[in-house]
Amino acid sequence: MNQTPHSQTTARYLDESSSSKQLWDRALAVMPGGNSRHTVVMDPYPVYAVKGQGCRVWDVEGDERIDFINNYTSLIHGHSDPKVTAAVTEVIANGTAFSLPTERDIKLAELLIDRVPYAQQLRFANSGSEAVLLALRAARAATGRSKIAKFEGCYHGIYDYAQASDSSRPHNWGDPKRPTTTLEPSMAASLASDVVTMPWNDIEVCRALIEDHASELAGVLFDPLPAALGLLEPRRDFVHFLREITERHGIMLVADEVLSFRVDHAGACTTYGIEPDLLALGKIIGGGFPVGAVAGKADVMAVFDHRDGEKVHHGGTYNGNPVTMVAGYETMAQLTVDSFEHLERLAAELREGMTRALSDRSVAHRVTGRGSLMMVLLTDEELTDFRSVARARAHSPQLAQIAKEMLHHGILLGQRGLFLALSTPMQSGEIEAFLRAFEQSLDALGIGSA
């Protein structure tokens, strides 16, 4: 069993003379905001990593932490998995990218198609954002329609049509039965008329919106376990309603499982008992390297086939590159049914421990998520949709404080607060260490009454 971090606190990065502070100053000079992705932003500046092994990360000060975010869910086997590392090392010695295909992408595609019962064909890209973009373009090509429907507040990457309504907030979200399609300043204003925004878990409102636009809708985009909605699960009847109504109107049901694919051996849609027309993948299928994929039924995926008119042109210098492909193959090959049972056991221990710690302190809370993904919100409100989750977050400023305090006690979390993604190298010892740090952090911040 892994040992817990050696030091009682891991906060040396906050020293003004720390290596992290020096790196932050350098980053500010050459990158806007000092970063290339907003998910690494921390107050007052980030901790800079230098090494990862298993479920542990070391920073440039030499402090060790247990990683409970795993590069925002993408590292299901943790860092530097031995089989992945060995396979990648072998590939690198023989060339990392070619203007010719290799067997590597065929092998990973075969593995994924064999695993997902409704997927018949697949194409690789380099990110989840690209995968969603391709899925939506495929939906347009397959239907001859142009509009997209999606859910309020949900994040699906940086493609404009997928990111619309990600910026919904109380001041701009409008009527709950006709949510406003909100746009960032960088988006074209005309986009608002091409995206229909719908409320999560509300069958009747969604039915009315979909039927109003049915003749124009190419696809309905949804994530079966959306992080932006606090990992709030959909009602099973809601998911089945989406499948039924889209099928009835000839609309493509597009599932974004870039993040949620890790909750089940065959993905989240299989867990809920539905078969979407198109599936966007990323994160864990790349084994720690940049990756995206779009999969679906053969008749829909035919829009990419150059032999049949190439309705969707799809290039990409690094699509299917052998490094990502072999890392993804070794990762997914190890991700067995037993792996998921192991993660489920750890997740149950963790959920039970956090619930007990908060209940003992009389702190109202909800633990959301499924399998190896979970989130904590400090509220007693029933969570049903994006707006209820937004209210809960607004009333839970302690979440970010808890995450930061836990960083000082050897636990690495994301900047969304108590958003967790487990990895297979973890054992009960890591769960116990997390729960100790959690209780210490609650006590240090004076949250609740023990």
**pLDDT at position 2:** 44
What stretches in the chain show pLDDT beneath 50? 1-7
Report in angstroms the alpha-carbon separations of 339 from 57, 287, 314, 331.
Answer: 22, 15, 34, 11
The catalytic residue among 13, 48, 118, 155 is: 155
pLDDT, residue 450, reads: 56
* Catalytic choice (147, 150, 283, 297): 283
311 catalytic per annotation: no
21 catalytic per annotation: no
Q: Which domains does the chain have, with CATH numbers?
A: 12-76+336-445 (3.90.1150.10), 82-334 (3.40.640.10)
Give me the pLDDT at residue 439, please. 96
* Confidence (pLDDT) at 3: 47
Q: What is the pLDDT of residues 391-422, one digit of tens each?
A: 998 888 889 899 999 999 999 998 777 999 99
pLDDT at 8: 63
Residue 361 in tokens? 């302190």
Q: What is the CA radius of gyration of the chain?
A: 22
Q: Is the pTM of this model over 0.85?
A: yes
Is 194 designated active site? no
**Catalytic residue (one of 59, 256, 264, 385):** 256
pLDDT score of 449: 76
- Cβ neighbours around 435 below 10 Å, total: 18
Distance in angstroms (rounded) separating the CA atoms of residues 373 and 5: 23
Nearest to 422 by CA among 335, 357, 356: 335
